[in-house]
Amino acid sequence: MRRLKGADRPVQDERARGEVLAALEAVDLVVIFEDDTPIDLITRIKPSVLVKGGDYTREQVVGHEVVEAAGGTVVLVDILQGFSTTALVHRARGGAK
């Protein structure tokens, strides 16, 4: 995360982020990985559903070809404005909404 988003990230360490995700009823598996993209994991696991934020297109989602070739689905979810980690950190540091 730090390589991709900068020295101030991640805000929470990987264990804390993983525990939050694992607590979600819809989540079957959380895997911590060190590569810049999850393509190796997606190729090995072949998930039936791959979820990414709606600020991406299906073609931009890493591994979409692998998931769809195995009969799975890529789901793009709506982004709730103001709730990104970047926006939350900005507000916590005294920035405007």
Tens-place pLDDT, residues 6-63: 677 677 788 998 999 999 998 888 998 889 899 999 999 999 999 999 989 999 999 9
The pLDDT value recorded for residue 24 is: 94
The pLDDT value recorded for residue 1 is: 61
One-letter amino acid at 51 equals: V
CA separation, residue 71 to residues 2, 49, 74 (Å): 33, 9, 10
pLDDT at residue 4 is higher than 80: no
Domain boundaries, the chain: 48-97
Tens-place pLDDT, residues 84-94: 777 777 888 88
Q: Find tokens 């990985």 and name the residue.
A: 33
The pLDDT value recorded for residue 94 is: 83
